[in-house]
A and B are shown apart, each in its own frame.
Chain A
């Protein structure tokens, strides 16, 4: 069974360019989470969706970041314009909200480098 799929795996771009990260959650999961991971701050939740609806975007750093989930099998995280401080590994995770607490399953991540 396929896990969470993310693309691209690596992205190198120049400051000011637009970056789009993509995620396909596990089939049947109805919650999706976008995280950013750095050495200094660890895993930070940016935004999460439940049934394709954004529930909490309080972790989105600023207006340069936006996320969409047009259907149950696809989500994007867009950074425009990108800045060097956005360099990090971005993870997508999905879960099935069927119980008291959800187990999140992570994708392999996108390593973003902004020059």
Chain B
């Protein structure tokens, strides 16, 4: 069964303390892996799409990487405004559905 698992469920960092969030997946026929950010009371906001193992993408303090089994979202020198829930989703097979993880809730303390 296709599955996406995110860890940790929650993470608390001090401002400037770099860390990584993990998204592991078991799917047949990966078409793409997505990272979204969700702020309280808002819809998920698209960050990155990764298509194949070895691919990396960066945006400000965020860097996403992909292997054949998992993806990491590296946060370098985070700021309080990076506090949010980060969601991972995978597109697989021959349909347009995404398989979603439950997210990692990140809190960055000043």
Interface residues of A (CB under 8 A from B): 4, 31, 42-43, 45, 48, 50, 55-56, 91, 93, 95, 97, 100-109
Which residue, of B32, B95, B96, B97, has the highest number of chain A Cβ atoms within 10 A? Answer: B96
Q: Could you tell me the distance in whole angstroms from the C-beta of A54 to the nearest C-beta in chain B?
A: 12
Q: Which residues from chain B contact A109 at a C-beta distance below 8 Å? A: 41-43
Is there contact, CB below 8 Å, between B43 and A102? no
Q: Could you tell me the distance in whole angstroms from the C-beta of B37 to the nearest C-beta in chain A?
A: 11
Q: Which of A4, A45, A91, A107 contacts B98 (CB 8 A)?
A: A45
B79: Cβ under 8 A from any A Cβ? no
Q: Could you tell me the distance in whole angstroms from the C-beta of B105 to the nearest C-beta in chain A?
A: 11
Interface residues of B (CB under 8 A from A): 31-32, 34, 36, 41-46, 49, 51, 87, 89, 91, 95-98, 100-103
Q: List 11 A-B contacts (CB under 8 A).
A: A42-B101, A43-B44, A100-B51, A101-B31, A101-B49, A101-B51, A103-B49, A105-B46, A106-B43, A108-B41, A108-B43
Q: Which residues from chain B contact A101 at a C-beta distance below 8 Å? A: 31-32, 49, 51, 91
Q: Which residues from chain B contact A105 at a C-beta distance below 8 Å? A: 46
Please give me the residue from chain A that is nearest to B49 by CB atom. Answer: A103
Q: How far does the alpha carbon of A100 sit from the alpha carbon of B98 in the complex, in Å?
A: 13
Q: How far does the alpha carbon of A45 sit from the alpha carbon of B95 in the complex, in Å?
A: 13
Is there contact, CB below 8 Å, between A56 and B95? yes
Q: Which residues from chain A contact B43 at a C-beta distance below 8 Å? A: 4, 91, 93, 106-109
What does DSSP make chain A's interface, helix, strand, loop or mixed? Answer: strand
Is there contact, CB below 8 Å, between A103 and B46? yes
Q: Could you tell me the distance in whole angstroms from the C-beta of A12 to the nearest C-beta in chain B?
A: 16
Is there contact, CB below 8 Å, between B51 and A42? no
Please give me the residue from chain A that is nearest to B101 by CB atom. Answer: A42
Is there contact, CB below 8 Å, between A43 and B87? yes
Is there contact, CB below 8 Å, between B87 and A48? no
Is there contact, CB below 8 Å, between B97 and A48? yes
Please give me the residue from chain B that is nearest to A95 by CB atom. Answer: B96
Is there contact, CB below 8 Å, between A100 and B95? no
Q: How far does the alpha carbon of A108 sit from the alpha carbon of B101 in the complex, in Å?
A: 19
